[in-house]
Amino acid sequence: MTGGPTWRRLLVPVLVILPVLAVLVALGTWQVQRMGWKTQLLAEIAAAEASPAMPIPANPQPWTKVAVTGRLDHGREALLGLEVRGPVLGTHLLVPLLREDAPPILVDRGWVPLESRLPIARPEGLVTLEGYVRPGESAGLFAATDDTAGRRFYSFVPEAIGAALGLERVAPYGLVVLGAANGPPGALPDPARSLPRPTNSHLGYVITWYGLALSLLGVFAVWARRRLKDPA
User: Per-residue pLDDT tens for 48-64?
Assistant: 888 899 999 989 988 89
Asked if residue 97 has pLDDT above 70, the reply is yes
Q: What digits encode the pLDDT tens for the residues 183-210?
A: 667 789 999 999 888 888 999 999 999 9
Residues making up the chain, counted from first to last: 232
pLDDT tens figures, 84-96: 999 999 999 999 9
For the chain, give the percent of residues with pLDDT over 90: 67
Domain ranges of the chain: 6-42+200-229, 64-177
pTM: 0.76
- C-alpha pair distances (Å), 31 with each of 20, 22, 35: 17, 14, 6
Alpha helices in 86-201 (DSSP H): 158-164
pLDDT at 103 over 80: yes
Amino acid letter, residue 36: G
Residue 105 phi, psi (nearest 5): -115, 135
